[in-house]
Each structure stands twice: as C-alpha cells, then as structure tokens.
Structure 1
C-alpha cells in the first residue's frame, strides 16, 4: 500500500499547486498594482491642474491640448511593461483555507467511500497462498467484504467442511441457498453440513432439504450420497443400496468415487445377508416412461426470460403430494419433449410405476424453485403407463 499512498500524495500536491500558485503569483504582482494606481492618480491631478490654468486664461487651447498629450505620454511610459492585474475578492485567507481543507476532505471521503481494503486484498490474492490457513483467511476476508457474492460464500462453506467445521459451514450454505435461489446443489451441501454438525443425527430439517434438492434435481449427488449414509448408519441397508445405486448411475465411468461407492453398496449387501435377509437384487431395466411435449403459449413469450427454470413432473392422483418423477429445463429449451420414468424418481419407494394414475405439471419458476413459480400447465389424470405423447401448454398464472 505504500506506493498507493505515495501516488495519492503526489496527486494531492498537484491539486494544491493549482490552488496556491495563482495566490502566490497574485502576491508578487501586488507592488506593480500599487505603482500603477499611483501613476493614474498623478495623471488625473496633472489634468486637473491644466484645466484650471486654461480656465484662468494662463494656457491657450492649443497649450492645454499639448499638455494633456504630454501627461498621457508620461502615464503610458510609466506603466509600460506592467502586468494587467485581475481584481479578486477572495483575498488570501480563502485560498489558504481551501488548500488545507482539500486534502483533509479527500482523505475523509476516501476512508468512507474508498476501497483500500479491497486493494490490499487483491494484492494478497495475487500471491499464491502458502498454507491452507492462509487460503482460508483470504476467503473469509473476501466473504466479509462481499457478503452478497454467492460463489465466495459457497466456496468458504466447502472449505470449512474440508476442515471438519460443519456448524460454520452450515451457516454459510444457508446464506448461499438464499443468495442462489435455493439451488439443489447448495441445498444438498447445507443438509450434509447440518447432518455432521448434529453428530450424524437425522432431522426433519435435513429431510426437507434433501427432498427439496431432489425435487429440483433428481440426480443431485450430495443429497443421494447423504441419504445413503444416513440409511446405512440406521441399518436400513436396502434403502442405502437404493440411494447409492442411483448416485452410481450418475457418475462418469472413470470417476474415482465409483470404487468407494461400489464398496459401500457391497458392504450393505453383506449386512443384509448377515441379517438373514435376501440381498437387494440388481435393479431391473426401467420401463418406458411417459412422453411429455412441453410448449410455451405465444402470449407469454414477452413475460418470461430464456434462463427461467421449467420443471416438468408427474404427481400421483391418489397418493403423496411429492412428485414421482421430475425433469428440469429452461424457457430457452421450449418447445421440448421429455420422458418421465422410474429412473427420475426422487425416492425409490415413490416410483411412477407404483401408481396407476398421475397428473402432469409444467411450471416456470424464475427463482428456480420447483414448488412455486409464475406460470403453469396441468393435465387431466392419465394412466401412468400411457404410451401416447402428452401435451402441456404453459399458459396460465401459477396460483
């Protein structure tokens, strides 16, 4: 910061120069101004004397004119080379006071509105951190200065989780969820932090967060993994296998996490066998799902934005209110055809094939919340095994 303050000081001196130099220059020209005023007074006195003599008959008109011309030449000679002085009413005190107040006022305004702390932080960030503690400190400073930056809040929360500080991480993920419009990935991280902060104890809040995350994204990895862990630790090994197999299906073939996840599934199968229960069989190929064609009414084209989220889901006509299968698009993708199948189920026990009749819903949500939006389309009840393409036209306000 030393070079910054040096540069600021040089600029301040330059500004003071604009104020003080004219004042000093005016002081140097003051004697010349006084001498010129004296010459003018003598000239006027000489003219008065000539006019008096002419009135008394001492001087003729020609002599009067010659004397006036001579007096004018003397005045011109006396003032020749003199500098024209501009009259000013500021005097000396006002410019001096301004010269003192300008730097003080500038410093006060900068300390209040300036960003010296951000300048210093940017200098620190330019140098790679030498330790995890230093990196964490920098992230904390960045979040403190930019509390509305969701990326910084989220990254600091992940850092706290890596350092086994789940309670602090949960507070940050809660902030990030509000800032991001409750994105599924953030909700999953928040639920996981709460779970470990509570000593691996499940709660209704954690269940609600994982349900909301999977409603927004049925393949949200953190929620699926967390539900599997909780089920395994509560000895619900069949549920753990179901969640982990869903998660395994979302991972790339070369993902290093696949081996650990597969190991967990095998341990759960082994526990089922040790308890005298039949191991959960490999999931059968999912049947063909419901094909849904989704479009936007032309009258709404100017009222939505391309990035607005579009949730397409099926809900049981007679059953739980939770969606059975969900797909997420954006307005820019419309019109589009999606397929809702058992593989899109939020929970293994709530599969599309388990319910004979369903209702299809398409919702536009600018905030990215699947349970609340601005525009909506609903279908009449249909059979869950219908092979016909179903059409949804989003054309009404979401109540």
Structure 2
C-alpha cells in the first residue's frame, strides 16, 4: 500500500519540485555570470587611463555592487533551502494523511482480516491475533452492513469464542436483511441463531428456539445441524416423537460410524420415553439397507470390450437426484461377481440407499472410465426395487448404449 501511495504522490512531488529546482539552477547560473562580469569590468578599469584615486573609487563601487549581489543570492539560497524543507514536509504530511484516510475509509481492515483468516487455515492463531481478528471483523461488519459475508464471519467467530449475546444479535441482523428467496442462507442463519440461543442459555430448551429450527427445516429439510439440534430441543421439551422424527431423517443420512452410534443412543432414549407412556414404536427403519447382486456379462458384450475395462455397479434413487447412492468399481475380468451395495458406499452425506424407498440397480462397462453412460458402453438396468429387498438381484450386462 505504501508503495502504491508513493507512486501516486510522485507526480505531485515533481509538480512541486520543478519551480524550486529551476530557481536553484537559475540562481547558480546568475552567480557565474555576475562573477565573470565583475572580473571583466575590474580588468577594464585596471587598464584604463583614469587617475589612481578615481580607479580606486570605481573599484570600490564595483566591489560593493558584487557583494550586494552575492548577499542577495545567499538569501535566495536560504529561501530555496527552506522551500525544500517545506516541500518535503508537505509530501510527508500528504503521505501520512493518505495512509490515515485509507485506514479509516479504505479496505485495510478487510485485507488484514482476510490475511489473518488465511493464516488461521494453516496455523493456529495466537491469542493476540484472535483478538485482532475479532476486532477487524466487527469493524468490517459494522462499516459494511450490506456485506453479509463479513457479518456472517463476525457472528460465527463471536459464537465460537462464547460471546453468545453478541453472536445472537449479529445473526439476527443478518436474518433481518436476507431476502426471502435466499432460502438456503436463511435456513443456515436460523440454525446458527438457534444454536447461539441454546448455548447462550446454558443449553436450556425453549419453544421459540425450537420453532426457529422448525422454520429452518421447512426451508432446508436435510440440514444435519438443524435436524440434530431440533431433535435435542424436542426431546428436552418433552416431545419425544418429534425428536425421533428429526433424528430419523438425520440417521438415514449418516453412514455407519461413531456419529450414527451416538445418534442411535439418543433415539433409544426417546423411544424409552414413549414406551414409558405405553406407546409402541417401530424402529425397522434403523436397519441399514443393503442389496445383494449377481453381476455377469453376455458373451457378445465381453467380446466387444477390453478385459481391463472398468465396470461400475451402482444403485440410483427412483425418485430423487441422479447421483448414485452406492457405487462399486470392478473390471470386466472380474465378472461374474457377487456384490453387496450398502450405505458405506455412498458418494455424499445423506445420499445413501437407506434414505430412499425405491432404487434402480445399474451395471455398466465404461469405455471412457467414467460412471456416466457414453455411446459405445455396455450396460444393464433393473426395474425399481425396494431398498429393503432381501433376495439377490441378477444383472447381466448385455445392452449397447447408442
């Protein structure tokens, strides 16, 4: 920044320095001319036929005139020196003022905050750097209220550091200005606001915070963060069936692992609360879906494709996104082969076989090496089957992709 300001101030420096520089040059040239003239007149006077007393008087007059001119030039040099000092002071003041104004009105805080955020992704920030980052984000958010990114970062950092009252206000400010059609952003902000309220009240559940989470889920039904917290609040507010409903969606989106096991414990607590009131609960949906397949390839197809060509075996939702719910990759040489597709083979969180009631099974020889069908590939696609199907499904790759 300093370098750029120096470049911008260079034309100003040249503009101010030019008259001072040329005046100094003119002064030096005038001094040399006067000296030459003094010497010539002194020589002429010395060689003249005037009486000695007149020569002496005229020479004295020449000396006085030369000394007067020398004193005048000395005074000009002094003024020029002062001009240089004044010019330098003006440039320094201009530079410092520019820096100060940039710090006040420019993007310096945002740039410093960005640098600290980038550094925080690589190494842990010191306590002083964290405090500086909080100050910079707060300043940027207050100065640019329409820039929601700074406000969001500021609110997240306030919540992460435990300043929940300030975080609640920051998230509320963002929610107040978010447009109604920004559903994903509004849902995420509602969830974070509810989380700040919950932890800011020493994890005490209340109906307004629970309603805020339900509003968020109405906009973004598969949000893991909102589902998990909504289940907790529903359970604490004595709504065990609602807690199970939230956690069911969350559980079906999770692969097997520690997180799913901890969630299962919470579900069992909610089930126990219902059973204590004499209610029956069906937990068959907690059984992980898995589909057994026998995959083979026709003689015609085998003759047309290389033995090392990849074969993609996948399950895709009948009613849902085109992304595969489970994928296994083998080669033509491995066929025929028995395969089991389950939730552990999901390509993305929440996109698994357990989350969709009906799926289509596909086996495809890909000549491009990609799971997407291309002309020249060979494949087979099953009719829709239940994600709870227990019988082994047979797939023979025999159809040429046009």
Q: When the two structures are superposed, what TM-score results if normalisation uses the length of structure 2? A: 0.46
More helix by share: 2
